Amino acid sequence: MGAYSKNVAVSAVLMVMGLGFCASLSFAQTAAKAVAQPATKAATDTTKAATAITYRALRTADGKPDLSGIWQAMNTAEWDIQAHDAKPGPLVVMGAEGGIPAGLGVVEDGPLPYRPEALAKKKENEANWLALDPVVKCFLPGLPRATYMGFPFEIVQSAQFLAFAYEFDFASRVVNIGMKSKAPVDSWMGWSSGSWDGDTLVVDVSGMVEDTWFDRAGDYHSDELHLTERYTPTGPNSLLYEVTVDDPKIYTRPWKMRMPLYRRLDKNIQLLEYNCVPFVEELMYGHLRKVQTPEELEKDNAPIEDPGGKYSPRNTLE
């Protein structure tokens, strides 16, 4: 090969390498710009993309989407439904294990629209979480908190009813399709009537006691709480959960939470017991324990006096 041909070949190789470098640089700059977008925008875009997916769920015998299964939320909404930084927990002895993980939040459209006086109560709740949160004392969590508090829950479905069983504290409720009646009395898990909007289960929840909270950060509601839940299948093992909260006594306008729920695919998956009642007996009733003097303790622990042999093994058998 002549010198001229060699120069042409070298030039061609250098040109290809240069084009490749420019393309790589352009790709890197594009990627950097994408990474530089705010996390909130990225999260919003991801959510929009997820909801844009057209998925036709498996059907039940009556032709409705089959929502049966064991589901669980994977987020930090139990600690705080709003965006929050990581911070230490209230128990110093727990160290890193007792810390509160950071979260992007599940509330749409900014901070919760508290009325001024209600916001002061929320801050008081948060400052006194361990003393005031009903869940700490093993009361039922209410809705929507039972959905995302870190425990799985199961949906069992028929044509007229959907039963929701939650692992925490044996909480449960029944969604009655087409029910028009109102709650006869307020309760911890409310009164749920359902309907179908295409492939979406819509649940109207009312009649909840005012004692439940939305999270450990003290976000709360009044006895006028009204929820509209929506469960939409987005894949064979995922649901989109949306809930609109309306409580004019506490908030200036309705607001919404949104999150995915995931089917538990563990081998032999089933709901287990989290019977927390024995866990809180000392917390709630320990102060009622009788304080005994050393003399009283000694007397209580002394052997039973049985001078006549009434309680001897022989006489007991007789």
Confidence of residue 18 (pLDDT cuts 50, 70, 90): very low
Bridging pattern class, strands 200-206 and 191-197: antiparallel
Instruction: Encode 208-240: b = buried (16+ Cβ within 10 Å), e = exposed.
Output: bbeebbbbbbbbbbeeebbbbbbbbbbeeebbb
**By CB neighbour count within 10 A (0-12 exposed, 13-18 middle, 19+ buried), where does 135 fall?**
buried
pLDDT of residue 127: 96
Q: Where is pLDDT greater, at 18 or 296?
A: 296
Q: How far is CA 217 from the centre of its chain?
A: 13
Predicted local distance difference test score (pLDDT) of residue 110:
84
Q: Which residue has the higher pLDDT, 53 or 202?
A: 202
Residue 36 has pLDDT above 70, yes or no: no
Give 261's pLDDT tier (boundaries 50, 70, 90).
Answer: very high
pLDDT (0 to 100) of residue 39: 43
Q: How many other CB atoms are found less than 10 A from the CB of residue 65? A: 21
* Confidence bin at 240 (pLDDT 50/70/90): very high
Reported as a single tens digit per residue, the pLDDT across 181-236 is 999 999 999 999 999 999 999 999 999 999 999 999 999 999 999 999 999 999 99
What's the pLDDT score for residue 52? 55
Specify whether the CB–CB gap between 57 and 66 falls below 8 A.
yes
How far separated are the first and last CA of the chain, in Å rounded? 121
Cα(272)–Cα(239) distance, rounded to whole angstroms? 22
Q: What is the DSSP string of 262-308?
A: EE---TT-----B--GGGGHHHHHGGGSPPPPHHHHHHHHSPPP-TT
Mean pLDDT, to the nearest integer, of 65-81?
98
pLDDT in the model for residue 308: 60
pLDDT at 316 over 80: no
CB-CB neighbours of 71 under 10 Å:
22
CA distance 309 to 313: 9
| Mean per-residue pLDDT of the chain | 84
Strands 191-197 and 172-177, how do they pair? parallel
As a whole number of angstroms, the distance between CA 95 and CA 100 comes to 11
Quote the CA–CA distance of 115 and 150 in Å, as a whole number.
Answer: 29
Tell me the per-residue pLDDT of 55-71, one tens digit each, with 9 for 90 and over: 999 999 999 999 999 99
Least confident of 181-195, 250-264, 296-310: 296-310
